């Protein structure tokens, strides 16, 4: 049974490695998605700042009431878009923390299994080396005893 155990452990470790790699890819995707949302928020804020500056400049030059109303309406929509983007970033941060925790758990499990497989391999090698040394010693003793009998 112990002969089969290392093979099973190798399979378990291989499955853990695949799970950890998948989780790492998910983490990377989640980080990229979060970063993309942050960039979009920055772009919205910059667009709003530029738009407010244009509104201020045109307002000081005098503009028709309808055009001013349209500018303010659009500015309100920009504020709504910014608020929505902030909420998406907050949701993304919560998701990112969960994905990081899953990856960390899978990474730690993979490391522990790798360590266990490595340790079992070292024990097997040591046991095999010891058996080979014993066989070699017995062979040499047998040769000596055969040599002494002559």
Considering the domain boundaries, does residue 117 fall inside one?
no
The CATH number linked to 60 is: 1.10.287
Q: How far apart are CA 97 and CA 34, in angstroms?
A: 11
Helix axes 4-61, 65-149, angle to 10 degrees: 160
**Please, are residues 51 and 75 in contact by the beta-carbon 8 Å criterion?**
yes
- Give the per-residue pLDDT at 81: 98
Q: Which residues, 6 or more positions from 72, have their beta carbon under 8 angstroms from its beta carbon?
A: 55
Q: Assess if residue 63 is contained within a domain.
A: yes
Q: The domain containing residue 8 runs over which residues?
A: 4-110
For residue 121, give both structure tokens: 């391999």
| pTM for this model (two decimals) | 0.72
Q: How many domains does the chain have?
A: 1
Residue 141 lies in a domain: no
Band of pLDDT at residue 6, cut at 50, 70 and 90: low
How many other C-beta atoms lie within 10 A of the C-beta of residue 16? 20
Query: Could you tell me if residue 131 is inside a domain?
Result: no
Contact of 102 with 36, CB cutoff 8 Å:
no
- Residue 96 CA to residue 56 CA, distance in Å, equals 39
pLDDT digits 0-9 by tens, 113-149: 999 999 999 999 999 999 999 988 888 888 888 866 5
- pLDDT of 19-44, one tens digit each? 999 999 999 999 999 999 999 999 99
Residue 24 located in a structural domain: yes
pLDDT tens across 41-94, in order? Answer: 999 999 999 999 988 888 788 888 898 889 889 999 999 999 999 999 999 999
């Amino acid at each position: 049974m112990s002969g089969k155990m290392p093979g099973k452990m190798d399979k378990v470790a291989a499955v853990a490695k695949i799970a950890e790699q998948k989780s790492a890819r998910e983490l990377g995707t989640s980080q990229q998605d979060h970063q993309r949302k942050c960039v979009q928020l920055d772009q919205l804020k910059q667009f709003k700042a530029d738009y407010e500056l244009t509104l201020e400049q045109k307002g000081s030059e005098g503009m028709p009431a309808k055009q001013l109303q349209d500018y303010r309406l659009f500015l309100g929509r920009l504020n709504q878009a910014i608020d929505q983007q902030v909420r998406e970033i907050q949701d993304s941060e919560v998701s990112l923390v969960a994905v990081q925790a899953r990856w960390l758990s899978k990474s730690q499990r993979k490391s522990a299994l790798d360590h266990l497989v490595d340790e079992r391999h070292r024990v097997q090698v040591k046991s095999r080396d010891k058996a080979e040394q014993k066989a070699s010693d017995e062979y040499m003793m047998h040769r000596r005893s055969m040599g002494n009998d002559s």
